[in-house]
Amino acid sequence: MTFDKIIVDKVVEQLINGNDYREEVIHSINAVFFDFTIDFFKKIIDAKMSSKNINLDWYKSKFINTLELSPHEIANFAGINKKTIHNIAGNSTKETVIDFANANFTYLENMIRLLEQDALNEINITISLSYNNINVTLDITESLLVINALATKKISIRGGAWSAIGKRVEKPLVNRLCELTGVEAKYINNTPFIKDKKKDFDREVDYKLISKEDTEYRVEVKLMGKGNPESADVIHARNTNIFIADTLSDQNKKQFQASGVKFLELRGSNKKKIIKDFKAILDTLQIPYTL
């Protein structure tokens, strides 16, 4: 899942004001999921109306055994996550995804048939869809497959969103802090850092602040929950000098203090105090800014 600039800016402002940013992310997750759901239902209507034999084969031919869809879509429609397939098989090519999708679909089909037998005299599930005066009805098997596909997609969107938002917010958040405190551009290095010009980029850290004596200080941003142990590890792995986080536990703070890492906690504070605390870090490291 990707986030446009508007959402990133909203998250940054929530963080700068010491507020919980998660509501913005949840709204985005729901918006993307609802868009997918509507589009999925339209695809189902089209598939049902164009299929001569209305049974599970139409679902497999239209949503799994097809080259028209991406591997990510095929996996979701079969009720399995593409990332899970990659972790198991070591790759996620379309051929691999289709094989895993068919296997998972067969498993789901058998499970649903058992549920049908158990619930035959107790409950019946149908989904009725209408689009442009076209009406179709899904039986219990088709309905359960659709529900499972939607549940898989929601999990995929949610997992991707929480992972992506932290990466997308890192630079804009530090940029905003520097803007509010008046750090000049010559004391900021937020461009990708070359590790090996012939091979790749150094992705370990995306932000550095420079002191008046030309010393570079590495900045790390983590939007994590209180007590997340990852914080203690990352400062050593990436030689972090300044750590900025949504929330920090007392244990986190003690670890940073013992390691000489300057930290800035955003949650539960306010804009004035956050700016003041960030300036204190700049003063300590002799990073110039305008008053």
pLDDT digit string (tens) for 224-274?
A: 655 555 555 555 556 789 999 998 888 888 888 888 999 999 998 899 999
Query: Quick one: pLDDT at residue 52?
Result: 59
Q: Which residue has the higher pLDDT, 19 or 48?
A: 19
Supply the pTM of this predicted model: 0.73
Q: What percent of the chain has pLDDT over 90?
A: 32
pLDDT at 60 (0 to 100): 84
Average pLDDT for 134-140: 82
User: Which structure tokens are listed for 94?
Assistant: 């379309």
In 3D, which of 69, 84, 85 has the Cα closest to residue 36?
Answer: 69
Complete domains list, the chain, with CATH = 22-161 (no CATH), 182-284 (3.40.1350)
Task: Give per-residue pLDDT as tens, 152-186.
Answer: 889 888 888 887 887 888 899 999 999 999 999 99
Please compute the mean of the pLDDT values over residues 127-150 and round it to a whole number: 84
State the pLDDT at residue 188. 94
Q: Residue 194: what pLDDT?
A: 54
